[in-house]
Amino acid sequence: MGLFYHFGKRRRYFMKKIFLFITLILVLSSCTPTVLPTTSILVDMEIPVEFTVLESPLIHSELDDLIVLTENRTSGEVYKILDWYGSPVVKWNEVTRDWVSFYYRNPPIASRAYAIVSVAQQRALDEVHKYNINLESRFPKTLNNEVLPVEIGCEPFECAVLIGVAESTLLYLFPETKEAILNQVEEARQSLILSGNILPSDLDIGESFGRAIAQNVIAERINDGASTAGKSDPLPVGEGIWKPDPFQANPQAPSWGKVTPWLLASPDQFRSAPPPENGSPEFLTALDEVYQVQQTVTHEQLAIADYWAGNPGTFTPAGYWNLIASQLITEYKLSSVEAGHVFSTMNMAIMDSGIGCWDSKYHYLVVRPWQADERIRGLVGYPNHPSYPSGHSCFSSAGAEVLAFYFPNDATEIQAKAREASISRLYGGIHYRFDLEAGLELGKQVADLYIEFIVEQAWEIKP
């Protein structure tokens, strides 16, 4: 504990040394021009990086401390190191999913949280490689072979950068839990120091680097319309028009269809085709199917409906696709940069599909099945937003198609999961079949746009 306190004192000393460095970053960030949604994915930031000379007394003192720390490291500390740094991109995604669940974020808001964290990670990692920042000559073991490092699953400076990204993005997204998030950040920081793979002063620079890029992403999104998406003009009323649940406070995100997308030219770029007219033979046939399915629903179908429900208090539908992506990234042992690209493009596609979906929902205002037939029950909840198209289908199709492109050997299984997520909403009495079909189509159209972008950026995963 004394050594960590000692590091903390030197950290404050060192922070004075890099004050100019941080000031330059903040100036550059504040001068970044506002960009259109179609060009906002890639941002060229000139970020200076200056490391302490290896001959300085500070470096020698840090090495002495690292020798003692790594010699006395416990098995429990090694476990924490491997937990944080087996794949730090995946780990911080897991942390984000936990906070989404804890704060009962609804699906559209959750998709934005995943996208902001992932985009900031991707940009930060790409910037590290753009500047070709390689600290191999500064590895503690290289400088003094008495330091005993633990093998980790990322470049140490990348790990440090990701800590800074996580700190800024999570505090922005979940400000209610500042102390708990800072505790997580500190645990990640101390675990990286204990791993023996980076000098604490280099870690400070990496964190500042990550925070600067994360703040740039936050500045882009802070006025994207998400904060006012819960408000809307008065909705039309009348026979056959969806109306909010009187037992719930507000309709869910009625203006989410006006939020600024990442890559879509506009929220209505892929607006779904008009649904069957309320009361028409096609509509009544679809409504009867929901009722008939509910009368014969099996235990297996109920289990599927429950698994994919993704209600507030879970990590939501987008979270399921982040979990699936995490499993694939881990299975294929992707680098941090590759993982950053996967999460970034998938989560932007999921968020954009949600924006397009909500644009269609509140444009058409299709009643829910239980509003059209009082015999029907929502077996896994009563979502308080219009029926057409299915949000689960939009989110799942977009996420699945992007992942299927990155992982072609698993494409069949990934796409089958999307179809299962979609049909689960019919099993649960939540949607008509035409909702599902329109949602799958909208999500695929959004994903195709992102796949074009992935190819343009040469972000395909190399075998």
pLDDT tens-digit map of 405-459: 999 999 999 999 999 999 999 999 999 999 999 999 999 999 999 999 999 999 9
| Residue 417 confidence (pLDDT) | 98
Cα separations in angstroms, 78 against 69, 158, 195: 12, 19, 8
The Cα–Cα gap between 378 and 395 comes to 20
| Residue 169 confidence (pLDDT) | 98
> What dihedral angle (degrees, nearest 10) is formed by the CA atoms of 247, 100, 180, 185?
-170
Higher pLDDT, 178 or 43: 178
Percent with pLDDT over 90 in the chain: 84
pLDDT grade for 50, boundaries at 50, 70 and 90: confident
Domains 2-221 and 237-456 share a fold: yes
| Residue 9 confidence (pLDDT) | 41
The Cα–Cα gap between 439 and 360 comes to 10
| Residue 407 confidence (pLDDT) | 98
Mean pLDDT, all residues of the chain: 91
Within a 10 A sphere around the Cβ of 177, how many other Cβ atoms?
16
Helix boundaries (H) for 268-407 = 281-296, 299-308, 316-331, 336-364, 369-372, 391-406
Spell out the residues 6+ positions from residue 54 whose beta carbon is closer than 8 angstroms to its own. Answer: 138, 143
Higher pLDDT, 37 or 349: 349
pLDDT grade for 215, boundaries at 50, 70 and 90: very high
| Residue 211 confidence (pLDDT) | 97
Spell out the residues 6+ positions from residue 183 whose beta carbon is closer than 8 angstroms to its own. Answer: none
The domain locations on the chain are 2-221, 237-456
Residue 312 has what DSSP assignment? Answer: B
Mean of pLDDT values over 251-271? 97
Mean of pLDDT values over 284-306? 98
| Residue 5 confidence (pLDDT) | 35
Percent with pLDDT over 70 in the chain: 89
> Over 70: is that where the pLDDT of 34 sits?
no
25-39, 125-139, 310-324, 337-351, range with the lowest pLDDT: 25-39
Mean of pLDDT values over 293-314? 96
Mean of pLDDT values over 318-330? 98
> Over 50: is that where the pLDDT of 180 sits?
yes
Per the rule left: phi > 0, alpha: psi between -120 and 50, beta: everything else, 429 is left
The Cα–Cα gap between 442 and 449 comes to 11
pLDDT grade for 14, boundaries at 50, 70 and 90: very low
> What dihedral angle (degrees, nearest 10) is formed by the CA atoms of 101, 107, 111, 113?
-40
| Residue 131 confidence (pLDDT) | 82
The Cα–Cα gap between 84 and 158 comes to 13
> Over 50: is that where the pLDDT of 359 sits?
yes
pLDDT grade for 47, boundaries at 50, 70 and 90: low
Tell me which of 3.40.5.90, 1.10.606.20, 3.40.50.740, 3.40.50.1370 is the CATH number of domain 2-221: 1.10.606.20
Q: What is the distance, to the nearest Å, from the Cα of residue 80 to the centroid of all Cα atoms in its chain? A: 23
Q: Which residue is listed with tokens 């800590």? A: 163
Domain covering 237-456, topology = Vanadium-containing Chloroperoxidase; domain 2 (1.10.606)
| Residue 320 confidence (pLDDT) | 98
| Residue 132 confidence (pLDDT) | 81
pLDDT grade for 289, boundaries at 50, 70 and 90: very high
> What dihedral angle (degrees, nearest 10) is formed by the CA atoms of 373, 375, 380, 382?
40
Summarize pLDDT for 67-99 with one digit per residue, the tens: 999 999 999 999 999 999 999 999 999 999 999
Query: Which pair of tokens denotes residue 228?
Result: 């006012």
Q: Which residue is listed with tokens 């994919």? A: 308
